[in-house]
């Protein structure tokens, strides 16, 4: 399984990266990854006119987008768009951070799951 991460470098600049989670045959129920410890879960509804300028993530967290589309921008100026079914690991908790905004005048429903610093994907 593949997903995107947003992280910061030593100078506090944010970047996109790509992660792959290995899965193994779990039999008739499908393929499973190993178990990862997590913290809290937060449900969020983001308004259709959301446009939040530069900010770091409040904590290391996974963002699961359920409904709607959004765009993230990192320090290099690169942007990526995400929609329902996408997962983003937000690790840019210090430094410049990222920008995020709603697309297509859509409300976004998402879930944040906090991830301890010592968890390695």
- Mean model confidence pLDDT for the chain: 97
Q: State the residue for tokens 């942007």.
A: 79
Domains of the chain: 2-20+37-114 (2.60.120.10)
| pLDDT band at residue 102 using 50, 70 and 90 as cut-offs | very high
Tell me the pTM: 0.94
Q: What is the mean pLDDT of residues 67-88?
A: 98
CB within 8 A of 3, min separation 6: which ones? 18, 19, 21, 86, 87, 88, 89
How many CA atoms are closer than 13 Å to the CA of 79, on its beta-carbon side? 9
Distance of alpha carbon 69 from its chain centroid, rounded? 13
SS3 call for 87:
strand
> What is the pLDDT, as a whole number, of residue 26?
96
Q: What is the mean pLDDT of residues 20-46?
A: 97
> What is the pLDDT, as a whole number, of residue 39?
97
| pLDDT band at residue 117 using 50, 70 and 90 as cut-offs | very high
Q: State the residue for tokens 């990862």.
A: 36
* Strand bridging mode 87-90 / 61-67: antiparallel
């Amino acid at each position: 399984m593949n997903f995107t991460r947003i992280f910061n470098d030593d100078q506090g600049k944010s970047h996109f990266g790509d992660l792959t989670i290995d899965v193994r045959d779990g039999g008739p129920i499908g393929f499973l990854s190993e178990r990862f410890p997590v913290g809290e879960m937060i449900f969020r509804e983001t308004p259709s006119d959301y446009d939040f300028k530069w900010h770091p993530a409040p904590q290391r967290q996974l963002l699961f987008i359920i409904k709607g589309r959004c765009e993230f921008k990192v320090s290099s100026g690169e942007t990526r768009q995400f929609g329902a079914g996408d997962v983003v690991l937000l690790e840019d908790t210090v430094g410049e951070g990222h920008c995020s905004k709603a697309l297509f005048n859509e409300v976004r429903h998402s879930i944040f799951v906090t991830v301890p610093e010592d968890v390695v994907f």
